[in-house]
């Protein structure tokens, strides 16, 4: 029998890589907390109609990429994104009745049956956020600027922010018709995908990478010609705030994004083109002022974004200091095991990451393990140490070795590790910066 393998496009993250994931997650959680966001966790499975109603029937995700199934006559889907579930939870728990403005962030797995390639997977993790109850352009500008700061902090090179506005839903209906009138006579020259989209979702044709579609849409009317005064004002103000914050951006009038729920502001951030490929988006987001009401909630404006965590990992070298433990307790012989276990427990109570070799290995092999795990000190308990309640403290970094009383050893080791910021509590969100 062949041995089992993971499903195509779904990846294991082994402990050697997890430090980088946790580092980015930690930095993200800290950024969000600094901006007044609180974490929300919604289920990985939702009723299929929730996604169809919000993301839109004629979008790639809903048409081709959802993992949907029926269970006891209920149509369910693995979530392809987090916005619909967050809006559902916001309405279901009547959060608007308690809070005028709600700021939520989330991190977790999403599922899309896409063709797997570098940076594109079938299970991937998003770091996302949604704000409900703030329709002002200051909210949009702060979000974009916050993301720019976060991506800079984790060391993503070559950042480019693209912003656009697609106006309110009515604007898009009028524009859609104008685009249809313009493209219908050119239909035969479009790619097969775009010919299909002409009937279902013509705005997506503007997003196409196919040269035939680019050619056909080169002189198409732009959505900006159809915007009303409110849309224009919102976008102009957003731009002044981004300027005031010193966040660089480019207006991309062709940016439409692939989901139907958006209104007004859209944005995407690209980066690390040498690693991800020039077209690869790290963060996508925008306003969706109509969604909450459409789902049966109050008329509450909303805006949000999501970043692909795997793409961030490809885009940056940021990695945590590579130590798994701070101290190794090395008992020599069976009599030392009991006192060794107690010593390890005392070290951990001081916030010191500690492992004890419980296999009864030789001192040589224990020291090798201490080195491999990045321990700074090894506390050796042999027969003579047991006889007078002392410990041999071997400092692998300072290359010193001292025998001292057990109580003194605990104090000295804790002080030394604290000074080197090497206790669990002193580690915080810091990380080793990428080498330039």
Q: How far is Cα 290 from Cα 152, in angstroms, rounded to an integer?
A: 32
Phi-psi region of 279 (alpha: psi -120 to 50; beta: other; left: phi over 0): alpha
Interatomic CA distance for residues 245 and 264, integer angstroms? 21
265 forms part of the interface with ligand HAM (CB under 6 A): no
Kindly state the number of chain residues that form the binding site for ligand HAM, as judged by CB under 6 A. 26
Please report whether residue 285 would count as binding ligand HAM according to CB under 6 A. Answer: yes
CB 320 to ligand HAM: min, Å: 22
Residue 47: enclosing H or E segment and its boundaries? strand 45-47
Minimal distance in Å, beta carbon 112 to ligand HAM?
5
The residue within the footprint of ligand HAM, chosen from 107, 242, 282, 410 (CB under 6 A), is 282
Q: Which stretch binds ligand HAM (CB under 6 A): 147-155, 160-168, 302-310, 425-433?
A: 302-310
User: Could you say whether residue 266 binds ligand HAM (CB under 6 A)?
Assistant: no
Q: Report whether 222 contacts 256 (CB < 8 A).
A: no
- Between 147 and 356, name the residue whose CB sits nearer to ligand HAM: 147
**What is the x/- site pattern for ligand HAM, positions 65-94, by CB under 6 A?**
----------------xxx-----------
**Residue with Cβ nearer ligand HAM (238 or 332):** 238
370 near ligand HAM, rule: CB under 6 A: no
By C-alpha distance, which of 165, 148, 166 is closest to 157?
148
Site for ligand HAM in 112-141 (CB under 6 A): 112, 114, 119-121, 124, 126, 128, 130
DSSP SS3 for 29: helix
Distance CA 219, CA 204 (A): 16
Residues in Cβ contact with 228 at an 8 Å cutoff, skipping those fewer than 6 apart: 167, 168, 171
In angstroms, give the least distance from the CB of 413 to ligand HAM. Answer: 43
Q: With respect to ligand HAM, which residue has the nearer C-beta, 271 or 370?
A: 271
| Contact status: 307 vs ligand HAM (CB under 6 A) | yes
Identify the helix (H) or strand (E) that includes residue 314: helix 309-315
* Burial tier of 36 (Cβ tally within 10 Å: 0-12, 13-18, 19+): exposed
Stretch that binds ligand HAM, among 42-50, 282-290, 378-386, 413-421 (CB under 6 A): 282-290
Tokens encoding 336: 């030392």
* Distance from C-alpha of 217 to C-alpha of 190, rounded to nearest angstrom: 9
Q: Which residues bind ligand HAM (CB under 6 A)?
A: 81-83, 112, 114, 119-121, 124, 126, 128, 130, 281-286, 288, 304-308, 310-311
């Amino acid at each position: 029998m062949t041995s089992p393998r993971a499903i195509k496009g779904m990846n294991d993250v082994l402990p050697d890589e997890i430090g980088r994931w946790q580092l980015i997650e930690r930095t993200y959680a800290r950024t969000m907390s600094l901006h007044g966001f609180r974490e929300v966790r919604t289920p990985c499975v939702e009723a299929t109609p929730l996604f169809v109603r919000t993301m839109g029937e004629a979008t790639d995700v809903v048409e081709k990429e959802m993992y949907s199934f029926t269970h006891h006559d209920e149509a369910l889907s693995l979530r392809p994104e987090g916005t619909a579930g967050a809006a559902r939870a916001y309405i279901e728990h009547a959060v608007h009745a308690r809070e005028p403005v709600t700021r939520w962030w989330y991190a977790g797995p999403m599922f899309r049956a896409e063709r797997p390639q570098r940076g594109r997977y079938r299970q991937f993790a998003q770091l996302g956020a949604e704000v409900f109850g703030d329709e002002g352009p200051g909210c949009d500008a702060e979000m974009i600027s916050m993301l720019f700061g976060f991506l800079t902090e984790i060391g993503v090179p070559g950042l480019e922010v693209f912003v656009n506005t697609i106006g309110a839903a009515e604007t898009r209906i009028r524009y859609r018709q104008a685009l249809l009138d313009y493209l219908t006579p050119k239909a035969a020259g479009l790619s097969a995908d775009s010919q299909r989209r002409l009937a279902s979702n013509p705005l997506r044709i503007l997003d196409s990478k196919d040269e035939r579609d680019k050619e056909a849409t080169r002189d198409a009317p732009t959505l900006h010609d159809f915007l009303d005064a409110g849309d224009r004002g919102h976008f102009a103000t957003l731009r002044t705030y981004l300027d005031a914050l010193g966040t660089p951006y480019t207006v991309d009038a062709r940016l439409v994004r692939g989901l139907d729920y958006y209104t007004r502001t859209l944005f995407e951030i690209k980066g690390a083109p040498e690693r991800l490929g020039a077209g690869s988006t790290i963060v996508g987001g925008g306003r969706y002022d109509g969604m909450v009401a459409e789902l049966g909630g109050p008329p509450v404006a909303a805006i949000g974004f999501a970043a692909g965590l795997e793409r961030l990992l490809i885009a940056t070298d940021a990695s945590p200091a590579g130590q798994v433990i701070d101290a190794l307790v090395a008992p020599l012989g069976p009599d030392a095991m009991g006192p060794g276990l107690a010593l390890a427990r005392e070290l951990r109570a001081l916030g010191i990451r500690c492992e004890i070799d419980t296999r009864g290995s030789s001192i040589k092999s224990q020291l090798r393990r201490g080195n491999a795990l990045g321990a700074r000190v090894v506390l050796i308990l042999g027969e003579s140490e047991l006889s007078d309640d002392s410990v041999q403290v071997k400092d692998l970094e300072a290359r010193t070795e001292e025998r001292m009383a057990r109580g003194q050893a605990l104090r000295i080791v804790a002080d030394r590790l604290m000074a080197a910021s090497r206790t669990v509590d002193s580690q915080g969100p810091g990380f080793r910066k990428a080498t330039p």
